[in-house]
C-alpha cells in the first residue's frame, strides 16, 4: 500500500464534528470523483471510486442524510485497473438537483459551477473538511522517505485557484502547474505538508512523516560526517605519501644521518607509521610534540628535498 493510500484510508475513517463539515467534505468528494449525466432532460450522477470504505461512507451519507436513491456496483480488476473499483450511481430524482445546488456544484442558472462555494472557503472545521475531501478525491503525497511533495489534482483552473485561496486561509502556500489538461496544486515544504496533514485529520500519517524526516536528517548528518572524515583521511594519506617521497629522496641522496636529529626522528617515525596523522605522530615522540610542531619539521624536510631536486 502506498503512503497516499495509507493517508486516504485514515482520512476516510475520520468522523466530522458537525453536519456543515460533513457537507463540505461531501461537496469536495462529489466534485472530484463524480460526473453529471443528463439524458432526456433528467440528471443523474456517477461516482467512480477506488476504495470500498469510501464507497460505503458516501453511500451511507447520501442514503441517511439526504434520503437519495443510490445504487452501488463493484467491478473486478481488469486490464486497465489493478484493483476493484466501485461505482455509485444516483439516478434522476428531485432531491439530487437540490443536493447539487446545496453543495454549490449546480448553479441557479442550471449549469455546473466549477468554483468552490464561498460557504466552504472559510477557516475552521468546514474549510478543513473541504480540504480533506479534496485530498481523498484527488490528492497524493510522496513517501516521507523520498522528496517532500503533496499535491491536489483539479479538473478546472477556477477550482485550483479557489483551492489555493482556501490553503492561504490556513497559512499554506500552494503552487499551481498545468499537466495533461489537469491543474495541480502542490506543496513542497516539509513544515507546510506536516501542517496540512494535521489540519485534515491525518495525525497518524503526520507522525509517520515526522519520524521519517528525523531518520532522514540523522542519516544525512551521518553521511556528511563520513564524507568530511573521508575527505580529511584522503588529505592525510596524500600528505603522508608526499612526505615519504621527500624522506626517501633525502635518505638516498644525502642520508638521514646527515640531517638534524629532530628531522631524522620524524622521518623514521613516518616510515614506521606511514598513514598516521600529524597529531598521532606528535604523540609518539618523546617528549610529545604538537601537530603544528610536527608539520614544521616536515616543512623543513620538504625544503631539503626541494633543494636536492634543484641540484643544490
In the chain, where the domains are located: 3-201, 216-309
Mean pLDDT split into 10-residue runs, the chain, 312 residues: 91 91 94 84 89 92 90 78 84 89 84 88 94 95 88 92 95 92 92 93 88 71 69 76 86 87 88 85 89 90 88 70
Cell numbers representing residue 95 in the block: 432531491
**Strands 85-90 and 182-187, bridge-based pairing:** unpaired
Nearest Cα residue to 265 out of 307, 300, 228, 213: 300
Contacts of 86 (CB under 8 A, 6+ apart): 48, 49, 50, 51, 52, 54, 55, 72, 73, 74, 75
Q: Which alpha helices (DSSP H) does 103-176 contain, by range? A: 125-138, 157-169
The enclosing H or E element of 38 equals: strand 34-39
Nearest Cα residue to 137 out of 2, 280, 8: 8
Give long-range contacts, CB 8 A cutoff, 24+ apart: 280-289: none
Q: In this structure, how many other beta carbons lie within 10 angstroms of the beta carbon of residue 50?
A: 16
Pick the CATH number of 3-201 from 3.30.110.30, 3.40.190.10, 3.10.28.10, 3.30.70.2740: 3.10.28.10
Q: In this structure, how many other beta carbons lie within 10 angstroms of the beta carbon of residue 126?
A: 20
Instruction: Report in angstroms the alpha-carbon separations of 66 from 16, 36, 51, 59, 90.
Output: 16, 18, 22, 10, 12
Q: Is the CB of residue 154 less than 8 Å from the CB of residue 138?
A: yes
Q: Is the CB of residue 104 less than 8 Å from the CB of residue 113?
A: yes
CA 2 centroid distance within chain: 13
For residue 17, with 0-12 CB atoms within 10 Å meaning exposed, 13-18 middle and 19 or more buried, which class applies? exposed
Q: Is the CB of residue 183 less than 8 Å from the CB of residue 193?
A: no
pLDDT score of 271? 86
> Do you find a cis peptide bond into 287, omega within 30 degrees of 0?
yes
Q: Is the CB of residue 126 less than 8 Å from the CB of residue 97?
A: no
Query: Facing residues of 71 across strands?
Result: 89
Q: How far apart are CA 54 and CA 186, in angstroms?
A: 23
pLDDT score of 308? 86
pLDDT score of 219? 66
pLDDT score of 241? 82
Nearest Cα residue to 27 out of 122, 93, 100, 90: 100
**∠ CA 279-282-285, rounded to 5°:** 155
Amino acid at each position: 500500500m502506498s503512503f497516499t493510500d495509507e493517508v486516504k484510508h485514515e482520512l476516510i475513517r475520520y468522523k466530522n464534528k458537525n453536519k456543515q463539515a460533513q457537507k463540505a467534505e461531501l461537496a469536495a468528494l462529489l466534485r472530484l470523483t463524480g460526473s453529471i449525466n443528463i439524458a432526456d432532460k433528467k440528471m443523474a450522477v456517477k461516482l467512480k471510486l477506488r476504495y470500498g470504505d469510501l464507497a460505503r461512507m458516501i453511500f451511507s451519507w447520501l442514503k441517511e442524510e439526504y434520503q437519495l436513491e443510490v445504487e452501488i456496483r463493484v467491478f473486478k480488476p481488469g486490464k486497465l485497473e489493478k484493483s476493484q473499483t466501485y461505482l455509485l450511481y444516483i439516478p434522476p430524482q428531485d432531491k439530487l438537483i437540490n443536493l447539487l445546488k446545496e453543495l454549490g456544484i449546480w448553479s441557479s442558472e442550471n449549469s455546473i459551477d466549477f468554483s468552490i462555494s464561498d460557504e466552504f472557503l472559510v477557516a475552521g472545521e468546514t474549510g478543513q473538511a473541504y480540504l480533506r475531501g479534496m485530498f481523498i478525491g484527488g490528492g497524493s503525497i510522496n513517501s516521507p522517505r523520498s522528496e517532500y511533495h503533496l499535491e491536489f489534482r483539479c479538473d478546472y483552473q477556477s477550482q485550483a485557484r479557489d483551492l489555493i485561496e482556501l490553503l492561504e486561509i490556513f497559512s499554506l502556500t500552494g503552487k499551481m502547474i498545468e499537466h495533461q489538461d489537469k491543474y495541480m496544486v502542490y506543496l513542497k515544504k516539509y513544515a507546510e505538508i506536516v501542517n496540512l496533514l494535521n489540519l485534515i485529520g491525518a495525525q497518524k500519517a503526520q507522525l509517520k512523516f515526522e519520524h521519517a524526516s528525523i531518520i532522514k536528517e540523522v542519516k544525512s548528518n551521518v553521511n556528511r560526517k563520513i564524507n568530511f572524515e573521508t575527505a580529511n583521511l584522503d588529505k592525510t594519506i596524500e600528505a603522508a605519501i608526499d612526505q615519504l617521497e621527500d624522506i626517501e629522496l633525502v635518505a638516498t641522496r644525502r642520508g638521514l644521518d646527515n640531517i638534524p636529529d629532530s628531522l631524522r626522528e620524524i622521518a623514521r617515525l613516518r616510515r614506521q607509521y606511514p598513514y598516521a596523522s600529524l597529531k598521532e605522530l606528535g604523540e609518539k615522540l618523546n617528549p610529545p610534540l604538537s601537530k603544528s610542531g610536527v608539520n614544521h619539521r616536515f616543512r623543513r624536510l620538504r625544503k631539503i628535498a626541494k633543494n636536492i631536486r634543484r641540484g643544490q
